Amino acid sequence: MLSVVWLGFTACGVMAITHATSVVQQRGFAQESADSIALATAIGGTPAAQQLAALLGVSITEIDIDAGNVMVKVSINDFIATSEATSGR
């Protein structure tokens, strides 16, 4: 009987770790996407940002370009990430 209880606890622990790992991975992907899209915007403007977002499968929710400074906000699967870049021009 004890082994069945132990097996149940182990299965619950594995499921919790798997879920936590998935959440961390998705947050990381959202942030990496925002960083990449901010750089693409600084270099190639809004069309480059939109093309990269389509390739990555994320949605751009906000782009702000002001005197070479770029702020981008993206979303994917309920995760939102923001990034900034400077064009250096």
Domain ranges of the chain: 2-86
Higher-confidence residue of 10 and 41: namely 41
pTM: 0.81
User: In Å, how far are 22, 40, 49, 61, 86 from 73, measured between CA atoms?
Assistant: 21, 13, 11, 6, 15
Tell me what the pLDDT averaged over the chain comes to.
89
Residues 35-64, mean pLDDT to the nearest whole number? 95
The stretch 48-72 carries a mean pLDDT of 94
What per-residue confidence (pLDDT) applies to 15?
A: 84
Per-residue pLDDT at 89: 60
Q: What are all long-range contacts of 13-22, with beta carbons under 8 Å and residues at least 24 apart?
A: none
In the predicted model, is pLDDT for residue 9 greater than 80? no
The predicted-structure confidence for 61-81, as pLDDT tens digits, reads as follows: 999 999 889 999 999 999 999
Write down the pLDDT at residue 32.
95
